[in-house]
Amino acid sequence: MTLRNAMSVDVEDYFQVQAFAPVIARSAWDGFTPRVDANVGRILDRFAAAGVRATFFTLGWVAERHPKMVRRIVADGHELASHGYGHALVHTLDAEDFRADVRRARQILEDIGGVAVTGYRAPTFSLGARTPWAFGVLEEEGYRYSSSTYPIRHDLYGEPDAPRFPYRPEGTALVELPLTTFPLGGRNFPLAGGGYFRLLPYQLFRAGLTRLNQRERRPGIFYFHPWEIDPGQPHIRDASRVARFRHYLNLAAMPGRLDRLLRDFAWDRIDAVFAEIIATPAPARLAEAAV
Ligand SMILES: [Zn+2]
């Protein structure tokens, strides 16, 4: 049987990305004309045409303003999951503020979507060794898995030495599903999407994912953002050159590449691809149960 990979979308608008945070205050978000609902609509059309189901990690802030979009995600058979409420980086919060953020997001999403929300992705992969308390908080708040770590070197995020494949953070029943990487010459290279997917030639990306599936016998986790298929979005001119380069690079090529990716591999929602590992109780829990 063909190995299925996991497709995911981080549902946020173009003015909410971390790279623009220095020039766009959170208090200014409501002043921008939203494009996220139209972009998600286009993504849902593409997924429907390709027969692909995916996981949508949605910001609570966005869900509140676009409930119809949230209901269509669910109605189309996709997994509704949480990207937190306000896109605050986890390592800038203390445990109680983090708890309030993930609780609020989950409540909003479940109320609007009418389904259980059990998956979480941290904004800008800001969860990991610096925030060892975060996994326990997620578990206590009803989450079953997190897909929030990216074991690469990057100036904004990443922990190059973190595990490459699913694991249970110590002392929790939660599962962490790291974003996909490609090991080469003692380093991990990103193979999960975002800006790298627009930067690298498609053939190279396809070869990397094929090798992961065939040689390592592992499913990959791919992610992208609704603004990445939207070349018509307003440009944020005050942002740094690096931020603008990363954000606007090859946007026009993205829809075509995405369609190829959807065709070239088998895809499903995260909770389906990793159903077995998410459902298996942690060894510590088994031991407790035996006593
Ligand atoms: Zn995000």
Ligand 1 mean position to 252 CA, how many Å? 21
pLDDT given for residue 282 in this prediction: 59
Ligand 1 mean position to 288 CA, how many Å? 37
Mean pLDDT by 10 residues, the chain (291 residues): 91 91 90 96 97 98 98 98 96 96 98 98 90 95 96 72 90 94 87 86 94 95 95 87 82 91 97 94 54 44
Ligand 1 mean position to 184 CA, how many Å? 27
pLDDT given for residue 193 in this prediction: 86
Cα–Cα distances in angstroms (integers) from residue 225 to residues 70, 193, 230, in the given order:
15, 9, 10
Contact partners, residue 69, CB within 8 Å, separation at least 6: 36, 37, 40, 41, 63
Neighbours of 208 (CB within 10 A): 19
Query: Structure pTM?
Result: 0.93
Strands (DSSP E) contained in 32-75 are 55-58
Pairing of strands 266-268, 175-176: unpaired
pLDDT given for residue 291 in this prediction: 44
Ligand 1 mean position to 280 CA, how many Å? 28
Q: Which residues of 236-267 are buried (b: 16+ CB within 10 A; e: fewer)?
A: beebeeebbebbbeebeebeebbeebbeebbb
Which 3 state secondary structure label does DSSP give 71?
A: helix
Ligand 1 mean position to 101 CA, how many Å? 14
Residues in the chain: 291
The two three-digit tokens of residue 97, written as one number:
């503020």
Ligand 1 mean position to 259 CA, how many Å? 22
d(CA 128, CA 176): 10
